[in-house]
Amino acid sequence: MLIIISGSAGVGKNTVITEILNSNPNIKLMQTCTTRNPRGTDKDMHSPYIYISRDEFEEKIKNNELFEHEEIHNNFYGVLNSSLDKIVSRDYHYIKDIGVLGQINLKRALKGKVEVLSIFLTAPKEELIKRLKARGDHDIDLRMSRMEFELSYAKNFDYVIENINLDKTIKKVQSLIKKHEKIEQKNFSK
């Protein structure tokens, strides 16, 4: 199963993912490539990214090593073809923060191969700004400018969860994972 977590900057995607990973040994983090600089929180054992230069990223595009890629906030992000192979093997469940366009592409590519659970997290704009300031973001206006675009895609997700209380959000996501594990067992038993 692939568990997709998406939403606007500051909504808590990586915090939720870290909590899920810490309490579920059968779920692994699906890493993607990015050209953005690591934040302090990205240096732990659950780093969501493989950090590469813009030149290296463009080389991967040229060599068709990426299933999909997108430029977000002046940085490239992309899913490696090898990551999809791991998901389809169904040895583990995988979880990843993916942009709204990537969610559409991944659901389409994995349809009929594995269960895909997509969750869009929301929070009030004022709360997002507060969180971005707390983590030291300097490009808050740039991040907020994408919010309306991302919200317009929320309808494409299986579930939309308002992430105000982290504990409640984690419990809801855990419950959805259990529900979709049963669906995967029914539809994709090895």
pTM: 0.85
Question: What's the full length of the chain, in residues?
Answer: 190
Look at residue 190 in the predicted model and tell me its pLDDT: 57
Look at residue 90 in the predicted model and tell me its pLDDT: 86
Look at residue 91 in the predicted model and tell me its pLDDT: 87
Look at residue 45 in the predicted model and tell me its pLDDT: 53
Look at residue 53 in the predicted model and tell me its pLDDT: 95
Look at residue 117 in the predicted model and tell me its pLDDT: 97
- Return the CATH fold of 2-30+85-188: Rossmann fold (3.40.50)
Look at residue 144 in the predicted model and tell me its pLDDT: 83
Query: Is the distance from CB of 93 to CB of 27 less than 8 angstroms?
Result: yes
Element (H, E) at 114: none
Look at residue 119 in the predicted model and tell me its pLDDT: 98
List, in sequence order, the alpha helices (H) in 24-165. 54-62, 81-89, 100-110, 125-134, 140-145, 147-151
Within the chain, which residues score under 50 in pLDDT? none
Domain range list for the chain? 2-30+85-188
